[in-house]
Amino acid sequence: MAVNSPNSPRQKMINLMYLVFIAMLALNVSAEVLDGFGLVDKSLRNSSHTLTDRNDLIIEELETYSKQNPEKAEEWFQKGLEVRSMTDSLTAYIQELKHLMVREADGKKADVDNIKHKDNLDAASIIMLSPINGKGSELKNAIDNYRNSIANHVLNPARRNIIERSLSTQSESNKSWEAKHFENMPLAAAVAILTKIENDIIAAEGDALENILNNVDAGDFRVNQLNAYVISESDIVFQGSEYNARVILSAEDTTIHPIMHINGATPTLNEKGIFSLPANSVGTFPVEGYLEISGNDGTTTQSKFSSTYTVIEPMATIAPSLMNVLYAGIENEISISVPGIAPQDINATIINGSLYRKGNLWVARPNAVGQDVTISISAQTANSAMRQITSREFKVRALPDPTPFISYTDANGNLAMFKGGVVPKTTLLNADGIDAAIDDGILNIPFRVLNFRTIFFDSMGNAIPEVSNGNRFSVRQKDQIRQLSRGKYFYISGVKAAGPDGTEREIAVMEIRIN
């Protein structure tokens, strides 16, 4: 069905004559040479008519296929009409330029087919190179746009290269493309140059239409779309390993969908043939089944397939740079995740401590303060090999000192903490004693208060210390608080607290003023 159109010997001869006459022009040969340009122009126009007839046949063939099978061929027919429209527009513009040149030389009764002043050296320059209304740059831009648009319809690199060379507007000299072709050029030669450009445009149109026609040919094999797909072993690759994949060429008929059976059921497909499977729980799940395809003879063929997909929880790791610290003596909860790997396929180990799973988290317990901890992560990869992913070192620090506070219930019935300052006397009298905890927005760790002392002042300013019963106010301490008047203050000091790491420490002093 495809139409072959290599340059015929006659066409090659015409092109050679064109080059010879241009060279002879540079030697200022006789007027007979100018008549020769008319012969070249006529031959080029005849060649253009032949090419146009060939292109018309391709358009007609595209139209026929479009009527026979619009679902497959209508798209290509419309592309062919688009190419024809661009060609007609540009060749009409070139015809207009010819007329303007000849009218500039011969007057209002100018006839492109019967030029009187063939040796006129001004007409082409005036029309094409005039500083204000010169058409040369417009023609150059129009040719560039046409060349770029047409090249998109030609898949063969060699054919595309021929089009780009034949319609090139690059100048290899100091002169612009417009000046090189039309500056001080005899009218007969300028018209022949435009006809040569027109001939190249129609030839380029033929290559584009032929390529479009060949795409419809692919549809005769029940294929209207060719796609290349990359099939990888895994889309997730760890640093230091290899990305393994193969590329397949898929010939598809988008107008016919085979019957699909997946995991014992027939799924619903969208307009692109895409199906969906649920991902309600984490893990690795099979995708197995077959495609049922009917042949032209009515027989049915089954093509089996098998794959898997892995469902993981949505996850993101946010790790501030100052948080690479673990605390000794407590359970440090850690979130460990590897994108693309299910949680059950992740393993972690620790140096200088203990590490174990706790639900969706891990818990690390360092051995000692100052002894750095290293946690290593490994994961089960697509080829069932356990591969180390990364490791990270953590500093191990002692827990910071807790803050002493008095627990009470506020006016709204909510549990609150008083950490010093002004407080109603009734709040103190209703409190049991002193508690302590690290509660800084990052850690929330309670401590056990062992004992504390209060320091009151008599009317002479003498300090009166009282020792608690463990973490509770003693009777004498409550009596001292009861005797305080508004504006008086006292201190709670010598608070000794034991943390979950087993260490005891004396923590901050509280200053309390009665409201």
Q: What is the pLDDT of residue 511?
A: 95
Alpha helix stretches (DSSP H) within 168-324: 177-182, 187-219
Q: What is the pLDDT of residue 292?
A: 82
What distance in Å separates the CA atoms of residue 1 and residue 3, rounded to the nearest whole number?
7
List of residues 6+ apart from 336 with CB closer than 8 A? 346, 348, 361, 362, 375, 377
Q: What is the pLDDT of residue 431?
A: 92
CA distances from 504 to 337, 396, 448 (A): 36, 18, 9
Please state the domain extents for the chain.
9-219, 224-256, 260-311, 321-397, 403-514
Report the chain (515 residues): mean pLDDT per 10 consecutive residues: 51 61 50 65 83 92 90 90 95 93 90 88 91 91 93 83 89 87 89 91 91 70 64 62 70 71 84 75 82 64 80 54 76 84 87 92 90 90 73 90 92 90 93 90 87 93 92 94 93 94 91 94
φ and ψ at residue 404, rounded to 5 degrees: -75, 150
Q: What is the pLDDT of residue 298?
A: 54
Angle between the 136-151 and 157-166 helix axes, to the nearest 10 degrees? 180
Q: What is the pLDDT of residue 306?
A: 84
| Beta carbons of 499 and 465 less than 8 angstroms apart | no
User: Dmax over Cα atoms in the chain, in whole Å?
Assistant: 136
Q: What is the pLDDT of residue 138?
A: 93
What distance in Å separates the CA atoms of residue 146 and residue 58, rounded to the nearest whole number?
19
Q: What is the pLDDT of residue 322?
A: 46
Question: What CATH topology corresponds to 321-397?
Answer: Immunoglobulin-like (2.60.40)
What distance in Å separates the CA atoms of residue 169 and residue 189, rounded to the nearest whole number?
18
List of residues 6+ apart from 302 with CB closer than 8 A? 290, 291, 292, 293
Q: What is the pLDDT of residue 285?
A: 81
List of residues 6+ apart from 363 with CB closer than 8 A? 331, 332, 333, 334, 355, 356, 357
Q: What is the pLDDT of residue 89?
A: 95
